[in-house]
Structure 1
């Protein structure tokens, strides 16, 4: 070993250069430096308070750690593979500034195992808070568009086939609900993230009379871990975080897919701004929806990170194993990607243009009021299953004769089934159909406006 390792006492030979490079995580875990320094300052202060180390030395350690944080933030402190990880890099620099006699005391009553687990939890906790802010930004964008789309009628689909007419605000609010669940999922996961493992040491706890509660309070943890073996090897919180990210990405991908479809020439009901599209290197006429396509593509990458972490953990015995070094890059990558995807989705939602005329025309096509006719028959006493069959025959007649419901003559209607005459009387427009769904959660204008008022109150609470 070119430089003495913190753990080298029992070794005779030097670490092979290729092993040192393979073993190092400093290239990616350096982003934990703020969290590691914060927990080290809290740990040092506790060691001083409990007289495990002299209080004066705890002050020196704290002052030195703050200096190191500034050096890292400014780029002054350079890292190398021999540092192994960010935790050892900070400790190395601490011993240079404070001297090994003082710097070497910081690691009293702790191990890298509980140190890493704690800093990682602090990082995930911060990322959850950042992601939830971006989710709310997207929800505000969806709310704004929904507010302006209450009067816009549009076709809704099942199996990507025309199904029933709705007000387009209902579509925007459907995604609002998805992302609201995502936000709640992150909030719930945060409760299990916010448990402090520091004090568990390598796996059995420590011989020193430490005060874990005071450290937890200083670092903003809600509680402390109750089993040291579990605490240092628990990565459930990271898996749960990645699932919440994957679920959010899946919702973003569904939104992106719909925008791609609706903006295609075949649908033509949405136009994306030029600033969110690119062109072709060969076809001059092309306008490609790269932003939603990338959102859709990155979702596969994010889902892969979740599977990677689950697979890494599935066969690990208690307690800590080096495999766990592979927990951070999937989390770092997924967090980076989802924040970028959420941010750009807000702009996409706000800037995409709707072809209101074409949406309205489509809402009145494809026999999408068939359910309403069947419902009217059922309300008049016909069993719904029988009404379903009758309206199915009516639809078949229109398809065979290339006509719409509105083109039917009374005699034609009566010939199929006399009960249809009353059900169709007066006609059923797209707006009548949409507003007929006057149930909580339904597509009626009355219900949409009520939900918008509820959401407005929610958003006001977010601002407080």
Structure 2
């Protein structure tokens, strides 16, 4: 059985039920209802201000829209597939409340600019929330880092032991990544903060609307200068999905490290019961579920970015029904990023603990201080490349004899090069190795303390601006 739709008299027959279901977006664009109501209220107020409708009609429309908002919040307004989308659902209910006046709401606008307005209002709100989460994430990292300035951790390149680091320095790398994410979203916000309301279907309208007034009511910083661009632009959605993907790249990298650190082979962290689970058949297991899920969900957001790029690449101007597909990707990416940020912040704050004794043991059981032997010789006047080659010989000698650099006797050192003296032992001690790297941006303890202060000041400033 077919069902009649509220189209113009251009159509003689109703839409096929299967096509009606296929065509409908109400199942997901209900997410936009609060924003649709807010945008419609601003549009009604603009229509009244410009004299397109009377002040009394404007008041009736606003009152009706606010009633729908309350009905939705009370669980009394639950439109189904027959409404097709949230815009028709609201307009239909408004007409039930306000009568023929409700039919005047859509004057001077199209669903094309309406949905663009709703989605931008939604994303502005979500960007603000995600930026606040990024600040909280940084705050937890900084709290941990402040307690581990002089805790050492092996540093890696190619997943091979490279040089020892301050654990705080390692964590501060993720603070810097999160700060770039925060800044990037702030830049994208500016391009989301442009109102398409009043662009119409594609060409504007003959009614004497005031687009700047409605934009001002909605808090938009700008209005689109071109109506075609206003209804068809999705650059801001692509940019957001790109930024969301980068956020999850950063979270996934940290997740991978935590997974490694929690393994028996590394043993750098202990997972608490509040953020890990066990095995259904192996009672000894404690699994790093949170970082594994974050690592897995990252690909999901990457897919949304790729999907949006493919969606847009062949669309002629202006609006095409393909653009209905932007919302599910956007909604899911927002939900995923927010969920991952929340989970990782909780994991860092209360789900894991660093094992300082194991970390100290780890930095003392390898050759990650080999570069410092070369640096030591260079300070004695030996050309660095010559010193570098010599240290390779020293390491080979140690491996052959089953020793570490610290285990060599002074006689063995001096047999390798006469410039080695008793102070070589202090020069290659892990704590000394780390402390000595005081170049700007380095892992030296004094540099790390300065970096911590700078990051804390920056975080406090960002929070005060939010």
TM-score under structure 2 length normalisation: 0.96
Secondary structure, in 3 states, of the residue corresponding to 1:44?
helix
CA–CA distance in 2 between the matches of 1:296 and 1:165? Answer: 26
Deviations 1:314-341 (A, max 9, x none): 1111111000000000110111111111
Q: Which stretches of structure 1, 4 residues or longer, exceed 6 Å deviation after superposition?
A: none
1:214-272 deviations in whole A, cap 9, x for unaligned? Answer: 11111011101111111101111111111111111111111111111000011111001
What secondary structure is seen at the aligned counterpart in 1 of 2:298? helix
- Equivalent position of 1:394 in the other structure: 394
Conservation of the 8 A alpha-carbon contact between 1:406 and 1:427: no
Residues 339-393 of structure 1: CA deviation (Å, up to 9, x unaligned):
1111111111122111110101111221111111212222333332222111111
Alignment of 1:246-395 (within 5 A): 246-351=245-350, 352-395=352-395
1:202 counterpart residue number = 201
Structure 2 matches for 1:62-77, cutoff 5 A? Answer: 62-77=62-77
| Residue matched to 1:145 | 144
Displacement of 1:425 after TM fit?
A: 5.7
RMSD (Å), alpha carbons = 1.4
- Matched ranges for 1:374-453 at <5 A: 374-421=374-421, 424=424, 426-453=426-453
1:423 deviates by 7.7
Query: How far, CA to CA, are the matches of 1:35 and 1:347 in structure 2?
Result: 30
The CA distance in 2 between the partners of 1:407 and 1:77, in whole Å, is: 76
Partner of 2:173: 174
CA deviations on 1:257-306 (whole Å, 9 max, x unpaired) are 11110000111110011111111111122111111111111111111111
Match of 1:245 in 2: 244
Q: Deviations over 1:97-126 (max 9, x none)?
A: 111x21111111100000001110111111
Measure, in 1, the Cα distance between the counterparts of 2:151 and 2:361: 11
After superposition, what is the alpha-carbon deviation per residue over 1:181-222, rounded to whole angstroms, capped at 9, x for unaligned?
111111111011101111110011111111111111110111
TM-score under structure 1 length normalisation: 0.97
Give the number of equivalent residue pairs. 462
Residue 228 of structure 2 is matched in structure 1 by 229
Distance 1:378 1:117, change over 3 A: same
Q: Is the contact between residue 377 and residue 423 of structure 1 (CA under 8 Å) also seen in structure 2?
A: no
The unaligned stretches of length 5 or more in structure 1 are none
Structure 1 window deviating more from structure 2 (377-386 vs 141-150): it is 377-386
Conserved in 2, the CA contact under 8 Å of 1:376 and 1:423?
Answer: no
Worse-matched range after superposition: 72-81 or 113-122? 72-81
Structure 2: distance between partners of 1:278 and 1:316: 47
The CA distance in 2 between the partners of 1:453 and 1:426, in whole Å, is 29
Which structure 2 segments of 5+ residues have no match?
none
Structure 1 residue 421: Cα displacement: 4.4
Distance apart, 1:47 and its partner CA: 0.6
User: 3-state DSSP class of the match of 1:179?
Assistant: helix
**What is the deviation of 1:151?**
2.1
CA contact (8 A) 1:154 1:362 kept: yes
Counterparts of 1:394 and 1:117, CA distance in 2: 67
